[in-house]
Amino acid sequence: MNGITIMIIDKQAFFRAGMRQALSQQSDLKILDCDPVQESLELIEANSPDVVLLDIDFPTLSGLELGRKIVRRHPNTRVVILSPNHNDEELFEVIKTGAVAYLNKNTTAEELVSTIQRACGGEYPINNSLIARPKVAEHVLRQFQDIVSMGKTMETITAPLTHREAQILNYIAGGNSNKQIARILEISEQTIKNHVSAILRKLNANDRAHAVALAMRNGWISVEGNP
């Protein structure tokens, strides 16, 4: 777990403090916390956390929408949704956000740390929750079948490039390096690298040049390469 940055987003300061205490026993963890009233997405942009522990914000469920935005805009950040009361309907909604895990807010420190480790290792612990709830698994399968029967391709349900990703791709098309783009946008070079990785993954591109060619072909960026 060396070098993992975790951001805790919860409206209850007492809960955030408890989570920090539970995770403080682990070495080499950088722990940040955030009240969702604050500009959560901007803080994520600035700090590039590896994992976000996000309150579902029952009963309004506004945490789901924030989680969806985090997944779309920061695909290298793994979102773990925390809920005070697990149920099948809620799990189904969490799955649709793209979160990697769904935990009870009363989970043990051991389970929380294990989930963080697995998420950073590229796993999706939420799959265990899905297997344990066959009705939800059936619901997910049925919705996917509905999408296919309506003639929608995978391209239509894949997350599109965000505004920032398109902006960075334009700078790449203009011949700028990651370091130059970071200086222009006044963000870290590591953040630029994270965005580039997301762009390549979303476009299924082999490299930066391939990504630029694909984006130009589809009209997502200008031929001149200006943002």
Domain boundaries, the chain: 4-147, 160-217
Strand 101-104 with 51-55, pairing: unpaired
Q: Which of 46-55, 58-67, 86-95 has the lowest mean pLDDT?
A: 58-67
Q: In what order do the strands lie in the sheet with 78-83?
A: 29-34, 4-9, 51-55, 78-83, 101-104
What pLDDT is attached to residue 37? 66
Fold type of domain 4-147: Rossmann fold (3.40.50)
Q: What is the pLDDT of residues 70-109, one digit of tens each?
A: 888 888 899 999 998 877 778 878 877 888 899 999 889 8
Residue 62's CB is within 10 A of a number of other CB atoms, namely: 14
d(CA 112, CA 118): 10
Q: What is the pLDDT of residues 119-148, one digit of tens each?
A: 888 788 887 776 667 676 666 655 544 544
d(CA 113, CA 99): 16
Q: What is the pTM of this model?
A: 0.61
d(CA 142, CA 151): 15
Q: What is the pLDDT of residues 171-193, one digit of tens each?
A: 888 778 888 999 999 999 999 98
Fold type of domain 160-217: Arc Repressor Mutant, subunit A (1.10.10)
Query: Would you say residue 159 has pLDDT above 60?
Result: no
Helix/strand/coil percent split, the chain, to 5: 55, 10, 35
Using omega within 30 degrees of 0 as the cis cutoff, is the peptide bond preceding 49 cis?
no
Note whether 4-147 and 160-217 share their fold.
no
d(CA 71, CA 94): 12
Complete DSSP assignment for 110-150: HHHHHHHHHHHTT--THHHHHHH-HHHHHHHHHHHHHHHHT
Strand 78-83 with 51-55, pairing: parallel
C-alpha closest to that of 170 among 117, 227, 109: 227
